Structures are given as structure tokens and as C-alpha cells.
């Protein structure tokens, strides 16, 4: 265990990407933003949006004062725009119930809108340096290969994976927090899903998967998600149209090249989710922007 910790932590000290939310001066709010923004989103797309948000809304109170529609507009193309609304709700809760300070306690973090187990553990570790078990896709893949000897983790997280992550966690708080991000980074840069770079991996000499001859994955099928033509794509088209135009948009102009029935279905879902508001005259706008855009 000690040699595994040393190899990964030494590698991270040299090879880690210099991301702004990893800077010691970054506030807990900045860490929280980065964790929510980076869910299922490449960090290269996250960083410019994160910088814009931190410059515009450097504290939860700043974001809480903004209209939900402007927050959705500023979310840009990060995907899963409901995360923007949940962040706005979380900022409001932090401002009203926690004196504007991101809570440290994981139970209080999980009580914030849109914050689940992973994000609560990550904020506790990366914002406050607490010893917590942080498990994402990259961590699961590194564990699967280095410790259990399988090519990929299971399609869905298991209790055994969380227990293994806890077992591998260093005892020291600071080392544990660094270990969490170091394993993530190793999975993101070296122990990748499709083309692992075992020749430069700091633990290849002890990796159970490598030592076992790199056997192919033989677990449950892993199905990729299609994009083109899906409701998710059409929802994105509608929101992008509303972000780009300064006025409320007539229904026919929201996604003119897509099937009308699908557009109606997606529009209804966006309204139900609070991402779009109807405006008189069969027009639509981002939430909270109806007066300005009417």
C-alpha cells in the first residue's frame, strides 16, 4: 500500500495539470463550481466557463442575486443545463442558511440542491482537505486495473468499489485529499478507457491487470450513448437558440429543422424543469428574463 501511494503521489506532484480550482488560493465556492461543472464534461470545456463564472459571481451570494435565466445563459454548452439551475438554488441556500459560506460537513453539503454523495465528498476533500472517499469513473477504472486486474470497472458503481476506495485511502487527511485527485488524474491522463498508456504509468510494475497479461473486459456490456437525433440534442438546440437571441423566441423558431412533435415534447420538458418560461404570443425565454425579452 505504501509503495502504491508513493508511486501515484510522486507522479501527481510532477505531472498534474495546473487547473485554477486546484490552486491553494481557490475558495470552497470555486471548488464546488468546478465539481458540478466537470460532471460528464471535459475539463478543457469547463475551465473557460469556470473562469467566467468566478469573475462574475465570485461568491454564492453573487450568484444567488442573479436571475436563473442569466445563469442558464452563462452555462453555455457545458451540457446538462439543469446543473446551472441547481447551482443557482445551491447558492441561494448557502447564502440564506450558511451565511454565504460553503459548508464543510458532508451531510450539510448533500442537503444542498443538486449536490450528491460524490460532490459532497469531493468538496470536503479538495476544498477543506478532509479525509473522504471520492470515487468517480477514473478512480473506478484505475482501481479495477491496478488492484482487481480487470480491464474496466463495472457499468455502474458497486459497494465493493466504494469499499476498495476507502481501503486504499491514506490515513493522513492531507495525503488522502491529494491521493483522491491524484488517482483521478492518473485515470484521466494515463490509465484511460480506450488507450491506456501503460508504458508511462507509475504503477505498471505492480498493476494486477498488466501482470495478468492485460486480459480483455468480459463483464456486462457497456453501451455508449448516442447523441444525434435524441431529445437531449433537441433540448440543447432550443436552449442555445434562447441563449443567443436577446428577445423571446416564437415557437416555430426554436428548432426549425427538427420534428415538431419532438420539439414540443422537449419544450414541455424544459418548461417542467424550469429551464424555459412561456411568454404571451406563443413565445419562449429563459427563466426570469421574460420582462426584458418581451
What digits encode the pLDDT tens for the residues 213-266?
Answer: 999 887 766 565 566 778 888 888 888 888 887 788 888 888 888 888 888 888
Q: What whole-number distance in Å separates Cα of residue 152 and Cα of residue 158?
A: 13
Q: Domain 231-293 maps to which CATH number in 1.10.10.10, 1.10.3210.10, 1.10.760.10, 3.40.710.10?
A: 1.10.10.10
CATH dotted code for 2-128: 1.10.340.30
Domain map (residue ranges) of the chain? 2-128, 231-293
49-81 residue pLDDT tens = 999 999 999 999 999 999 998 999 899 888 888
pTM: 0.83
Q: DSSP code of 285? A: E
99-150 residue pLDDT tens = 999 999 999 999 999 999 999 999 999 999 999 999 999 999 999 999 999 9
Cβ 70 vs Cβ 62: under 8 Å? no
Sort 215 into a burial class: Cβ within 10 Å, 0-12 / 13-18 / 19+: exposed
Q: DSSP code of 133? A: -
Q: DSSP code of 128? A: H
Per-residue confidence at 204, pLDDT binned at 50, 70, 90?
Answer: very high
Q: What is the mean pLDDT of the chain?
A: 90
* 201-205 CB contacts, 8 Å cutoff, 24+ apart: 202/7, 202/8, 202/10, 202/11, 203/4, 203/7, 203/8, 203/146
Residue 283, classed as helix, strand or coil, is strand
Catalytic residue, chosen from 35, 161, 185, 277, is 35
Per-residue confidence at 267, pLDDT binned at 50, 70, 90?
Answer: confident
User: Does 35 qualify as catalytic in the annotation?
Assistant: yes
Cβ 176 vs Cβ 184: under 8 Å? no
Taking phi over 0 as left and psi of -120 to 50 as alpha, with beta for the rest, 75 belongs to alpha
Cβ 207 vs Cβ 145: under 8 Å? yes
Q: What whole-number distance in Å separates Cα of residue 20 and Cα of residue 31?
A: 9
The candidate with the shortest Cα–Cα distance to 286, out of 235, 228, 247, is 247
Amino acid at each position: 500500500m505504501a509503495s502504491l501511494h508513493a508511486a501515484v503521489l510522486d507522479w501527481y506532484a510532477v505531472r498534474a495539470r495546473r487547473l485554477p480550482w486546484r490552486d491553494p488560493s481557490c475558495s470552497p465556492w470555486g471548488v464546488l463550481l468546478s465539481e458540478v461543472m466537470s460532471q460528464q464534461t471535459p475539463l478543457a470545456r469547463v475551465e473557460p466557463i469556470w473562469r467566467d463564472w468566478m469573475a462574475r459571481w465570485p461568491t454564492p451570494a453573487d450568484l444567488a442575486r442573479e436571475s436563473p435565466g442569466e445563469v442558464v445563459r452563462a452555462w453555455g454548452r457545458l451540457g446538462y443545463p439543469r446543473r446551472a439551475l441547481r447551482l443557482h438554488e445551491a447558492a441561494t441556500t448557502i447564502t440564506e442558511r450558511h451565511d454565504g459560506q460553503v459548508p464543510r460537513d458532508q451531510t450539510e453539503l448533500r442537503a444542498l440542491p443538486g449536490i450528491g454523495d460524490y460532490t459532497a465528498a469531493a468538496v470536503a476533500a479538495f476544498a477543506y482537505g478532509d479525509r473522504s472517499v471520492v470515487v468517480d469513473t477514473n478512480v473506478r477504472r484505475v482501481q479495477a486495473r491496478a488492484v482487481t486486474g480487470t480491464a474496466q470497472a463495472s457499468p455502474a458503481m458497486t459497494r465493493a468499489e466504494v469499499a476498495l476506495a476507502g481501503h486504499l485511502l491514506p490515513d493522513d487527511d492531507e495525503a488522502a485529499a491529494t491521493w483522491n485527485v491524484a488517482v483521478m488524474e492518473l485515470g484521466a491522463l494515463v490509465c484511460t478507457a480506450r488507450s491506456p498508456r501503460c508504458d508511462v504509468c507509475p504503477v505498471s510494475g505492480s498493476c494486477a491487470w498488466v501482470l495478468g497479461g492485460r486480459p480483455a473486459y468480459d463483464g456486462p456490456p457497456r453501451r455508449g450513448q448516442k447523441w444525434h437525433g435524441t431529445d437531449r440534442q433537441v433540448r440543447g438546440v432550443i436552449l442555445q437558440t434562447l441563449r443567443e437571441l436577446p428577445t423571446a423566441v416564437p415557437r416555430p423558431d426554436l428548432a426549425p429543422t427538427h420534428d415538431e412533435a419532438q420539439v414540443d415534447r422537449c419544450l414541455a420538458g424544459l418548461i417542467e424543469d424550469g429551464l424555459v418560461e412561456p411568454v404571451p404570443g406563443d413565445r419562449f425565454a429563459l427563466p426570469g428574463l421574460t420582462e426584458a425579452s418581451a
